[in-house]
Structure 1
Amino acid sequence: MNDFDPAALDCLAALADEQGFERAAQRLSITQSAVSQRLRALETQVGQPLVVRSRPLRLTEAGKVLLRFARQLQALRTDVARELGERVAPQSRLAIAVNADSLATWVLPALDALVQQGLREGYGLELVVDDQDFTHDSLRQGAVLGCMSTVAEALQGCSVQPLGVMRYVAVASPAFLAAHLPDGLHAGNFADTPFLVFNRKDDTQTQWVSQAFGVRAPRLRERFVPSSEAYVQAVLMGWGIGVAPEIQVRPWVAAGRLMNVRPDVSVDVTLFWHQWQLQGRGALLDQIGQALAQGAQRALA
């Protein structure tokens, strides 16, 4: 494994990120021919294809294995450069996966000090957004080095620590409730009531309805709004009932702009931080995990 050419591994990582040879070459400031040559050399060394040359480009299972190694090697190089007081390579960036609701509420303040430090030292932090039930797949496939997930069990070679509980509550505007639910939301009318949904991976609304009315696999009138900030804005505008993080809608509830539909019902999502275990003093990935843990402690239950 130590015989793999670091430059070829960097090409593989760039191809995975940019999903094409032209953009990968631009990112690495080399020619497309050089990217192809380095990839072919790596594939010859491994003895099997590493990418599927489609549009967009995809990694094979062997490619995903080497991608994990490439990510870890890049992170270690960044840590060594920082420890030696050297300028980090311009293309150096560490990717982590977070869920959209955490990003919209507490993640940015938690990571701010590290990002400001990165501006001075030259490294970058890439935030990959996905549903908290799916971020673990990105970690397994090597797309990221750390992730925020609902999965409690660590992958082999990874560590895991609990972050806290993000509580989701059902809210609606007073005008919407007065116009559409004058008798309140109940088992007889929830199926005809519009519920806002983040995207097709989001099942928080069905979980909430199942708890509220004891219905298995309820079918809802869904209206999709794939942005955490726009989601809350749509609830404020009276598009329907939203099931959103309590910490995000708390100011609107306090101001009377939103009402908690059923204060006795909530969906509690326990979040965990996973990361690959890298050796090194003061590893940047460890610092990210510590910053997220401290930020979650301040913000979450």
Structure 2
Amino acid sequence: MDELPLDQVRTLLAVVDEGTFDAAAAALHVTPSAVSQRVKALEQRTGRVLLMRTKPVRATESGQVVVRFARQLARLERDARAELGMAQEAGGPVRLPIAVNADSLATWFLPALTRVPQEPPVLFELHREDESHTTALLREGQVMAAVTSSPDPVAGCTVRRLGLARYLPVASPRFADRYLRGAGVMARALQQAPVIVFDRRDVLQDTFVRALTGDAEAGDAGAGPLRHHVPTSEGFCDAVAAGLGWGLVPEPQAAPLLRSGGLELIVPRRPLDVPLYWQQWKLDSPALSTVAEVVAAAAAQALLPPGAP
């Protein structure tokens, strides 16, 4: 491939970030025609269609490669300017886009970020996404790092293990009395009782029930069809405590309610542990390296080590 002209690469990134050619033109202080010409020239140079001309514009798979390169280039340029004492001209604070799952956000991740030194200032752009889908944002170039359940590195990224996030199967005592106690086989009862799920991609409750039945591959052996969708970590826990359904709640959120009697374990000694990893770009960025070390240290305190009982 011929070299990628930097003005064309930056223009493509602007179009993806702004969503339209007109908005990108305004951000770059050029005409929409100039933006269109640069993108077409870059597509001709690469021999690939880089953008889907939708509203908003979306990068194709090939376009995601260029977008990721553009973000890395911009990060390196800002770091170099900062080391040369030119941070103010570079736009001031360091900005780091990171993808993280809702349960980590609600428990240990935000306190970790408070430990990041703020000289120079570091601004976090957090993207909330399910831990099994955060790598998609890395692949698309939308974020520089992610908390993920995938140990398989995205191209151009490194991976380090963080630990195990433990989920406990719980319900309110009143709910357990109505739907579960005396119902016979617990797995069968859970397939019929109302359940709380985060969203339509949340499979934790299904995975748990399949593990109980020993039928992990069965597509119809998960939790039941009576589902309440509650798309916040705190709201999920509150919904279970209120008795709307049973669910798997992160141990740090469940523990105080278990002690107070607001929740009870519906299957004792059967937690569900989800391994979490930190993936980040292979990029010599001081700010990103610092955040990675802070996150790893916080995870070592908040999460369980592999093989925990």
Same-fold status (TM-score > 0.5): yes
Aligned to 2:273: 268
Identity of aligned residues (%): 39
Aligned to 1:104: 106
Q: How does 1:24-173 map to 2 (within 5 A)?
A: 24-25=24-25, 32-85=32-85, 86-87=87-88, 88-89=90-91, 93-114=95-116, 117=118, 121=120, 124-173=123-172
- Partner SS for 2:142: coil
Aligned to 1:288: 291
Whether the aligned pair in 2 keeps the contact of 1:211 and 1:265 (CA below 8 Å) is no
1:195 deviation in Å?
1.0
1:130 deviation in Å?
1.7
The AA in structure 2 aligned to 1:227 is: T
Which whole-Å CA distance do the structure 2 matches of 1:213 and 1:279 have between them? Answer: 47
- Does the alignment pair 1:202 with 2:206? no
Count, aligned residues: 296
Structure 1 pair 262–223 and aligned structure 2 pair: CA distance change class (3 A): same
Which whole-Å CA distance do the structure 1 matches of 2:155 and 2:241 have between them? Answer: 44
Aligned to 2:20: 20
Q: How does 1:193-232 map to 2 (within 5 A)?
A: 193-216=193-216, 217=218, 218-219=221-222, 220-221=224-225, 222-232=227-237
- Partner SS for 1:192: coil
Structure 1 pair 172–286 and aligned structure 2 pair: CA distance change class (3 A): same
1:122 deviation in Å?
5.6
CA-based RMSD of the aligned residues comes to: 2.6
Whether the aligned pair in 1 keeps the contact of 2:168 and 2:249 (CA below 8 Å) is yes
The AA in structure 1 aligned to 2:103 is: D
Unpaired segments of 5 or more residues in structure 2? 305-309
Whether the aligned pair in 2 keeps the contact of 1:225 and 1:231 (CA below 8 Å) is yes
2:264 to 234, 259, 267: 259
The AA in structure 2 aligned to 1:205 is: Q
Q: Please give the TM-score of this superposition, normalised by the length of structure 2.
A: 0.85
The AA in structure 1 aligned to 2:206 is: T
1:300 to 288, 294, 303: 303
Q: Please give the TM-score of this superposition, normalised by the length of structure 1.
A: 0.87
**Which region of structure 1 is more displaced relative to structure 2, 139-148 or 41-50?**
41-50
Structure 1 pair 74–15 and aligned structure 2 pair: CA distance change class (3 A): same
Unpaired segments of 5 or more residues in structure 1? none
- Partner SS for 2:228: strand
The AA in structure 2 aligned to 1:297 is: A
1:203 deviation in Å?
0.9
- Partner SS for 1:55: coil
Which whole-Å CA distance do the structure 1 matches of 2:106 and 2:177 have between them? Answer: 29
1:197 deviation in Å?
0.8
Whether the aligned pair in 2 keeps the contact of 1:150 and 1:269 (CA below 8 Å) is yes
- Does the alignment pair 1:237 with 2:242? yes
1:162 deviation in Å?
0.3
Which whole-Å CA distance do the structure 1 matches of 2:243 and 2:165 have between them? Answer: 24
Whether the aligned pair in 1 keeps the contact of 2:167 and 2:271 (CA below 8 Å) is yes
1:147 deviation in Å?
1.6
- Partner SS for 2:135: helix
- Does the alignment pair 1:277 with 2:277? no
Structure 1 pair 68–284 and aligned structure 2 pair: CA distance change class (3 A): same
Which whole-Å CA distance do the structure 2 matches of 1:153 and 1:198 have between them? Answer: 24
Q: Deviations over 1:216-261 (max 9, x none)?
A: 4324132211111211111121110011211222222222211121
Structure 1 pair 122–291 and aligned structure 2 pair: CA distance change class (3 A): closer
Structure 1 pair 144–52 and aligned structure 2 pair: CA distance change class (3 A): same
Whether the aligned pair in 1 keeps the contact of 2:107 and 2:252 (CA below 8 Å) is yes
